[in-house]
Amino acid sequence: MGAGVTGAAVVSPPGMQRAEGRARVSFVRRLVNGAEETRLDDLFQDGCCKVRLPRAYGHGGPVAVLINSAGGVTGGDRLTYEAGWGAGTRATVTTQAAERIYRRSEGVGHIVNRLTVGAGATAHWLPQETIIFDRAGLKRRLDIDLFADATLIACEAIVLGRTAMGEDVREISLDESWRVTRGGRLVYADALRLDGDSRQILSGGATGGGARAVASLLVAGPEAEVRLAGVRDLLGQRLAGGGAEGGASAFDGLLSIRLMAQDGRALRDILEPLIELLTGEALPRAWSV
């Protein structure tokens, strides 16, 4: 009988490297050459989360561009972005490119976005699309704290794969939530969850009608509700050709807009003019680069 082997060491597979990062940007109103202007107040960046402040033209105030230098998000990654608008400021926060959520081996990627908008400030939160690939996982939060008379225009868009390249997204885990408070009171809460076969989940008439791209926009502020008619007029014009669907409703100082489309291009065709209507400004240059 052969001798047994005892005491053999158990070797665990090496842990996968994960991306982590945190970035913060805030704005303040200062007197510059005899006139008050919105200027940078605070900037912090760590890990893969970066912020750039390109020269901006026009009257829309500064533009902060968020960058994930890791090139995308996969299971176990953790990113946190924070943006603050001081009293009376007006500024836009966007992203350098579409964020990509890649196939994971385990776990989900985590992204937390926190916005604070002070008295009389106007905040535009306009990240480009999030593209989710097959077998990807993402948990994302958008927490917004508004002063009573602050104005917010916020957008988040999700595209399931690059249809122009023939990509088919089947198995995903997506958990996205919005929480908006005004004067310390919760005024808006929303959640989107897709877990499993996204094509099957979104195929129903009440769940997406076969959509591969969706977007949510929220306007909050003293004049949010009066914008409803103009938004519905634009939707009626732009959606007449098919390829996308949308709707808008207004309540309690809020205007909520939903969009669904067959692909990312069709979504952009309605999303871009809608954002320009709401902000009264051209889109950030990063959207066209």
pLDDT of residue 1: 46
Dihedral sign from CA coordinates of 61, 255, 120, 277: positive
How many residues in total does the chain contain?
Answer: 289
The answer to whether residue 43 is domain-embedded is yes
Nearest to 159 by CA among 114, 96, 211, 120: 211
Distances (CA, A) of 241 to 18, 59, 165, 205, 264: 44, 33, 23, 19, 16
Q: What are phi and psi of 287, to 5 degrees?
A: -70, -20
Q: Which two tokens stand for residue 240?
A: 């007449």
3-class SS of residue 79: strand
Q: What is the mean pLDDT of each run of 10 residues along the chain (289 residues)?
A: 54 70 97 89 98 84 97 96 98 97 94 98 98 96 97 97 77 96 96 89 81 95 95 94 90 96 93 96 90
DSSP 230: H
Q: Report how far Cα 88 is from the mean position of its chain's Cα atoms.
A: 24
Residue 80: what pLDDT?
98
**CA-based angle 20:162:277, to the nearest 5?**
85
Position 161 in a domain: yes
pLDDT digits (tens, 9 = 90+) for 63-116: 999 999 999 999 999 999 999 999 999 999 999 999 999 999 999 999 999 999
Report the pLDDT value the prediction gives residue 15, as an integer from 0 to 100.
Answer: 58
Q: What contacts 143, CB < 8 A, 6 or more positions away? A: 112, 113, 114, 115, 179
Supply 197's token pair: 């076969």
Let me know if residue 218 belongs to a domain: yes
Q: Identify the burial level of 185 via C-beta atoms within 10 angstroms of its C-beta, where 0-12 means exposed, 13-18 middle and 19 or more buried.
A: exposed
Q: How many domains does the chain have?
A: 1
* Residue 71 located in a structural domain: yes
- Per the structure block, which two tokens stand in for 265? 């291009």
Asked whether residue 143 is domain-assigned, the answer is yes
Nearest Cα to Cα of residue 279 among 212, 224, 242: 224
Asked if 87 and 27 touch (Cβ cutoff 8 Å), the reply is no
| Measured distance CA(8)–CA(11) in Å, rounded | 9
- The Cα 237–Cα 235 span in angstroms is 5
- CA dihedral (75, 23, 176, 159) in degrees, to 10, reads -80
Q: Which domain holds residue 76?
A: 22-288
Instruction: Report how far residue 138's alpha carbon sits from residue 41's, in angstroms, rounded to the nearest whole number.
Output: 31
DSSP strand pairing (213-220 vs 254-261): antiparallel
Q: How far apart are CA 96 and CA 81, in angstroms?
A: 14
Q: Is residue 7 part of a domain?
A: no
Domain assignment of residue 270, yes or no: yes
Instruction: At 225, give phi and psi (nearest 5°).
Output: -70, -30
Is 48 part of any domain? yes
pLDDT of residue 8: 59
